[in-house]
Amino acid sequence: MIVSVEGLVVNAVNMGVSDKMLTIITRQYGRMAVYARGGRQISSKLMTGSLKFAYGDYVINKTEKTNILQEANAKLTFFGLHKDLCASALADYIAEVVSDVVMDEEPDEPTLDLALNCLYVLSEGKRAPEDVKTVFELRMTERLGVYPDLSGCCKCGRSDKPWYYLDIMNGELRCSDCKPDAAPQNEADEGTAKIIVIMTGAEVYAARRVLSAEKSKMFSLPTDKNVRERLGAVSEKYLLNHLEKNYKTLDFYKEISKL
Ligand SMILES: [Zn+2]
């Protein structure tokens, strides 16, 4: 069956001297493994559309066993990613997470659009990579349906406390008066038993805004660098614990971002 799809190339592996195996997150069929014959060759009409992070229209011969790329028309290539090592390392992490989350034959347009938004902002240099990472991770928890309830303490309902405990696996917030069992005494104790992190009121407020903002406003993070850094650590821990996976692309990004 010949299908026309719109999608984002999240992985492109060289096959021999001239071909590529692509992973494309499509609007119509979710994740697709697509063979691009000649995708490596500059003379090929498939070359631009076979680049990692290309986004556009693809015509694919879709069979039960294989998907063969027939036509590719890249509308965006996010060229700016290739000019900044830190941005490109983060883009690799985003691509890997999205490729894990979106399944074959299960369209997930909101996740695709989240990835596209993040890649656009990164590529254009509109936000610092660490902020894009925080927003991506928090919004991914929403896509996975495991986002934290940050409206207030889950026991007493108060939302005016200076700091809280966040139970990562059930997404519940508790205030300092209603602290959970075996709550850590300080940040160094975090990560034992229940995976509980401490969040200040400012961090909770900022995370809540990222989760509830319209797409155009979701990258608005507080100006306080400490709040942003701490929120980034929480968002990463939260997402990775729910995905139950460590990402080498993330380790690499972190190394690069320290330079
Ligand atoms: Zn409480």
* Strand partners for 224: none
Looking up residue 107, the CATH number of its domain turns out to be 1.20.1440
Average pLDDT over residues 102-107: 97
C-alpha of residue 163 to centroid of ligand 1, in Å: 11
C-alpha of residue 149 to centroid of ligand 1, in Å: 13
Are 110 and 189 in the same domain?
no
Are 133 and 209 in the same domain?
yes
Taking only the tens place, the pLDDT of each residue in 179-217 is 877 655 666 655 445 889 999 999 999 999 999 999 989
Helix (H) or strand (E) holding 79: none
Q: In whole angstroms, how far apart are CA 19 and each of 7, 34, 79, 203?
A: 19, 11, 21, 47
- Which among 134, 50, 246, 66 has a CA at the least distance from the CA of 58? 50
User: Which DSSP category does 203 fall into?
Assistant: H
C-alpha of residue 200 to centroid of ligand 1, in Å: 14
Helix (H) or strand (E) holding 67: strand 67-76
Are 66 and 170 in the same domain?
no
Domain endpoint, select from 44, 79, 114: 79
C-alpha of residue 218 to centroid of ligand 1, in Å: 28
Residue 175: what pLDDT? 94
C-alpha of residue 197 to centroid of ligand 1, in Å: 15
Residues 183 and 191: their CA atoms lie apart, in Å, by 10
Which tokens go with 162? 């200076």
C-alpha of residue 179 to centroid of ligand 1, in Å: 7
Long-range contacts of 213-219 (CB under 8 A, 24+ apart): 215/113, 215/117, 218/117, 218/135, 218/139, 219/121, 219/126, 219/127, 219/131, 219/132, 219/135
C-alpha of residue 162 to centroid of ligand 1, in Å: 12
Q: What is the mean pLDDT of the chain?
A: 94
Which tokens go with 23? 């992973």
- Which among 8, 34, 32, 30 has a CA at the least distance from the CA of 20? 34
User: Which DSSP category does 43 fall into?
Assistant: T
Residues 106 and 130: their CA atoms lie apart, in Å, by 30
Phi, psi dihedral angles at 180 (to 5 degrees): -70, 165
Question: What is the extent of the structural domain holding 198?
Answer: 163-203
C-alpha of residue 150 to centroid of ligand 1, in Å: 12
pTM: 0.93
Average pLDDT over residues 232-237: 97
Are 20 and 90 in the same domain?
no
* 154 located within any domain: no
* 151 located within any domain: no
The answer to whether residue 148 scores a pLDDT higher than 80 is yes
Are 88 and 190 in the same domain?
no
Are 175 and 66 in the same domain?
no
C-alpha of residue 180 to centroid of ligand 1, in Å: 10
Confidence band of 259 (pLDDT split at 50, 70, 90):
confident
C-alpha of residue 251 to centroid of ligand 1, in Å: 36
The answer to whether residue 49 scores a pLDDT higher than 70 is yes
Residue type, 193: A
C-alpha of residue 184 to centroid of ligand 1, in Å: 16
The answer to whether residue 126 scores a pLDDT higher than 80 is yes
Domain endpoint, select from 28, 45, 79: 79
Which tokens go with 79? 């060229």
Residue 138: what pLDDT? 98
* 152 located within any domain: no
Q: Where is average pLDDT lowest: 29-38, 97-106, 136-145, 172-181? A: 172-181
C-alpha of residue 174 to centroid of ligand 1, in Å: 5
Helix (H) or strand (E) holding 6: strand 2-15
C-alpha of residue 151 to centroid of ligand 1, in Å: 12
Residues 144 and 85: their CA atoms lie apart, in Å, by 28
Residue 181: what pLDDT? 72
C-alpha of residue 173 to centroid of ligand 1, in Å: 8
Taking only the tens place, the pLDDT of each residue in 16-25 is 999 999 999 9
Question: How many domains does the chain contain in total?
Answer: 3
C-alpha of residue 123 to centroid of ligand 1, in Å: 42
The DSSP string of 138-169 is: HHHHHHTT-----SS-TTT-----SEEEEETT
Are 189 and 230 in the same domain?
no
How large a percentage of the chain has pLDDT more than 70?
95
C-alpha of residue 256 to centroid of ligand 1, in Å: 40
Average pLDDT over residues 225-229: 95
